[in-house]
Structure 1
Amino acid sequence: MRQFKLEVAALLAAWASAAACLDVPQSSQGTCPNNVNAKQLGNKLSNTAEIYFPGSAGFAAAIARWSALDPPVASIVVVPGTENDVVETVKFANQKCLPFLATNGAHGSITTLGKMTHGVEIYLTQLDCVEIASNGQTAKIGGGILAKNLTDVLWAQGKQAVTGTCECVGYLGPGLGGGHGWLQGHYGLVSDQYVSMNVVLADGTLTTIDENSDLWWAMRGAGHNFGIVTSVTSKIYDLVPNYAIETLIFSGDNVEAVYEIANDNWLTNGTMPVDLNNWSYWYFDPTSDPDKPVIAFYIIQEGVNIVDPVYTEPFYNIGPISSQAQSGTYLDLAAWTGISLADPPCQKTGEANPRFPIYLKSYNATAQRQVYDIFSSLVTNSSGPFGSALFMFEGYSQQGVKAFPDNATAFAYRSDNLLVAPLLTYKLDGPELDAYVAQVGNQIRQILYEGSGDSSLHAYVNYAYGDETPLVWYGSEEWRQDRLQTLKKKYDPNARFSYYAPVA
């Protein structure tokens, strides 16, 4: 403990020294940690760029993350005002042998981020432009925009894009790992929409790439490993405004029945109609059931005011505790499913939020029961730390995703139909609790994996816990791993991009 306190004191002293460097004259020989001279960097940035140091409100806001488990540690934060500011910051970091990490929505909870123990955070929030092309078919989108902001800007022009579903998540981050969204049944993944992108490479070069670049394949699925995307040109579409949802709350006693019907009702077989999505959550709600977690099952349909009974009647036959039918627009989807800006998943509370994702082709009712019982024992323990935990089951229409060949991008799991992940929210309380959570989360995932019949574990890199391997994140086929390694050696031989689910 004494050594830990000494290390903290030394770190705080280094931060204080760094803060002082911001004000020294250009000619001063003042020394910052690792020879950081913020004045030297500031002189190369645009007049809209900002630099934050520890102790400032700007720094605290920039480094705040949704999950406080193994976060990256920054010595300074640079907020670029232009794409060239990213170039200059990466070059500066390279010159000073400083690690760097680009951030935006800060919802990636992967523990590999904790390997960054100092360095430069490049906070992209100012790069939030949206420029719709004159033909109305594409838009240039800044690398720092959030999903909600992009949706609102496009909505005002009668347009929409495939984005992630949660309003506070960045647009580009999910896309670099593939990117699931409400519209993927029509058009494919977020990354399938990209036409070109401006990328700052590991050496600080700003380049524009498209389908003619060998890097294009890797950026759409494993992009965190190869560059910082400062802007992207993406396909956009005419919007369909009206949506309907049916929310059914079931007792946990009905786990097998609910998911057997989901399998039999065209919801999990990869040919679910393109206008349909289904989600479900497990969570503890004592107002509905004081003894165990409930199942909240959502059926969402596009272009209607009432969900077609052909999809809902089999579930009503089970006998839900309660139900609610709502109609509205695309803008209502996040609030209906509890992931709007106002909802808990968009709050940065200082808690740990690890997930243990797995892709499935269909539900195994026996496995669902087993993991439900484990989850129930966690969240209904009155003295336990997991009262806010959530189990997520995301069932999107897959037809647009499967329309692309399996080898089209570095995203490897187009043949899977369901994205499943326990979210074990808890307050940090030392390494023993962290280890316990990792053990339970992986136990749950292993049960689902064994029940899937798959020969290899498939995990969504954007939800990854961090103890998975590149074969799990990016596909176990030898050709996939070889291609990623070859591109890594070419574009990032010194592994400057090595903190988010590294390919090696």
Structure 2
Amino acid sequence: MFFNNLNIIQFGLLLLQGSTTFAKHISSRTCNNCSCAIAETLGPKLSAGASCSYSTAAAPRWSEFDAPDPGLVVNVATESDVLITVQYCNENNISFLAQNGGHGWGQTFHLGLEGLLINLGGLNSTTFNADKTEATIQGGALVRSVVDAAYSNGAQIPTGNCNCVGALGAILGGGFGRLMGLYGLGVDNLLSLNVVTAAGTQLTVTPETEEELWWALRGAGPNFGIVTSATITSYPVTTAENGAWVGSWIFTEDQIEDVVEAVNDLDLLPEMAVFLYYAVSDGTPVVLVSGSYAGANNSDGPNAFASITAVGPVVEEAAWSPFDEVNASGDSFCAKGGYKPAYGAGLAQLVPATWRSIWNEFVDFIAINGTSASTVMVDCYPMEKTRTLPDSSSSYPWRSTINCNAAVIPWYDDASLNAAAVSFGKSVRSLWYETSGTATNATYINYAVGDEPYSVVYGDNLATLETLKGVWDPTGKFDQFFPL
């Protein structure tokens, strides 16, 4: 459902005059020879709305831990700007990385000062066809803007749950979200993709035009191209139905086993999703469960989560919300900057004894000064709709295996805590793997770190993806995010 971040350096911006079609916004950070030359020669080729910056503050990332640190950020304004930038990089042997929300937390980024970041944030529109059954989302649109556009058009689009995450980035990894019980994974709802390839060409990819590339992009997208826009199925709904009942319950640490067992045994209907967190509230570590039930405002939500409330929460809140407000409770995750070396695992089950051990690890870590924003989380979904399609339908590998995605997120501002945070994260992940209920270790790519064997991320699809990588990106232009 979440995150990742560039080193955020605070610099004043100096507006320099350039081409009549390109304004170069250059920070007081001294450019190196390479980045200066790029700005001077690439800038005039781009559209009037595009800009360049030598400061990564132009495209901040969610976490500063092992973040890319490019010499130049190109803020594109049109999909053609992306194509022109990739062509320029190819001609001049320049490494590049495309970014939308900046939350991908994988530690495989290695873009340095000789490289270029393509900031897709200016490509942020979501438009609909006349009957609202299809939507076209640009590559820089965040989940919040897609949900807002869908709501105002009387529709729903299956997106991730975190408002500040790039919508297409999350979808291309697989696309888990609170509506997937009704509509399936995000990748299952894609209809076409506009893609800039490693060769510097622009293709519209569909199952009919490029069957193998279509398969590869839907699960391993960042290895095969930059998706500048995508058309996806949208689902018209009435205003009365376009919302969800959301409940939140706080429990104390002595209730952990009962809470975890209740979440694990919950009968997840298609309208439902459930989330469990370890967090700090008013200085005290607590267990938080949140559940949502999509649809009209009625009694279905309370009834569906009765087994959770039967455990006896010490605090309980519940209300129906329109769908453009449903994700708001997760906005605290959106704060950028700081260090967040997160570790994730895919789970088929939740084991109470494991979560007791993880609680002990969590309490020990947050006892360190400056770590109280840290959290442990897991989100679980009804999988029946997703499993109506075979595993082979896309390169996302775990539809028949994973029921829940778990992540531990150490969160702090003092870089001297990095070693302790990594140790904490790896320890928790090991506990999940030991009792995951899966035949092999499996991790959703959007929750993976990069130190895992790639079979953990790509599963049995790894060999086929490597073969297709040789066809579509033989020189490894797309080599930053879990590169094949």
Relative to the length of structure 2, the TM-score reads: 0.89
What residue in structure 1 maps to residue 408 of structure 2?
Answer: 422
Instruction: After TM superposition, list the pairs within 5 Å mapping 1:335-374 onto structure 2.
Output: 335=328, 338-339=329-330, 343-348=331-336, 350-374=337-361
- Give, in whole Å, the separation in 1 of the partners of 2:257 and 2:277: 15
- Give, in whole Å, the separation in 2 of the partners of 1:320 and 1:35: 58
Instruction: After TM superposition, list the pairs within 5 Å mapping 1:210-289 onto structure 2.
Output: 210-212=206-208, 213=210, 214-239=212-237, 240-266=241-267, 272-286=268-282
Decide which of 313, 319, 333 is 2:326's aligned counterpart.
Answer: 333
- Give, in whole Å, the separation in 2 of the partners of 1:243 and 1:35: 50
What residue in structure 2 maps to residue 61 of structure 1?
Answer: 58
Q: Cα deviations across residues 323-370 of structure 1 (Å, max 9, x unaligned)?
A: 1121222122112xx32xxx321121x211122111111111111111
Q: Which runs of 5+ in 1 are unaligned?
A: 1-11, 24-30, 267-271
Decide which of 155, 169, 179 is 1:173's aligned counterpart.
Answer: 169
Instruction: After TM superposition, list the pairs within 5 Å mapping 1:425-464 onto structure 2.
Output: 425-430=411-416, 433-464=417-448
What residue in structure 2 maps to residue 472 of structure 1?
Answer: 456
Instruction: Say whether residues 1:397 and 2:390 are aligned partners.
Output: no
What residue in structure 2 maps to residue 297 of structure 1?
Answer: 289
Instruction: Say whether residues 1:494 and 2:475 are aligned partners.
Output: yes
| Matched letter for residue 355 of structure 2 | Q
Decide which of 185, 203, 209 is 1:207's aligned counterpart.
Answer: 203
SS at match of 1:222: helix
- Give, in whole Å, the separation in 2 of the partners of 1:486 and 1:35: 37
Moved more, 483-492 or 133-142: 133-142
Change (3 A) 1:142 1:313: closer
Instruction: After TM superposition, list the pairs within 5 Å mapping 1:11-22 onto structure 2.
Output: none
Change (3 A) 1:94 1:449: same
Decide which of 305, 317, 320 is 1:312's aligned counterpart.
Answer: 305
Identity of aligned residues (%): 33
- Give, in whole Å, the separation in 1 of the partners of 2:255 and 2:347: 20
What residue in structure 2 maps to residue 8 of structure 1?
Answer: none
What residue in structure 1 maps to residue 24 of structure 2?
Answer: none
Any conservation in 1 of the 2:243–2:326 contact (CA below 8 Å)? no
**Offset at 1:175?**
1.3
What residue in structure 1 maps to residue 194 of structure 2?
Answer: 198
| Matched letter for residue 473 of structure 2 | D
Q: Cα deviations across residues 357-391 of structure 1 (Å, max 9, x unaligned)?
A: 11111111111111111112212x1x433211111
Relative to the length of structure 1, the TM-score reads: 0.85
Any conservation in 1 of the 2:348–2:437 contact (CA below 8 Å)? no
Aligned pair count? 457
**Offset at 1:469?**
2.5
- Give, in whole Å, the separation in 1 of the partners of 2:97 and 2:111: 11
Any conservation in 1 of the 2:70–2:111 contact (CA below 8 Å)? no
SS at match of 2:343: coil
- Give, in whole Å, the separation in 1 of the partners of 2:318 and 2:57: 41
Decide which of 82, 85, 89 is 1:89's aligned counterpart.
Answer: 85
SS at match of 1:284: strand
SS at match of 1:113: coil
Q: Cα deviations across residues 95-147 of structure 1 (Å, max 9, x unaligned)?
A: 22111010111111211114545311111112122221234211222111111
Any conservation in 2 of the 1:185–1:275 contact (CA below 8 Å)? yes
- Give, in whole Å, the separation in 1 of the partners of 2:449 and 2:392: 25
Q: Which runs of 5+ in 2 are unaligned?
A: 1-8, 20-31
Cα RMSD over matched residues?
2.5
Q: Cα deviations across residues 55-113 of structure 1 (Å, max 9, x unaligned)?
A: xxxx5232x11100011111111122221111110111112211101011111121111
Change (3 A) 1:309 1:143: closer
**Offset at 1:228?**
0.4
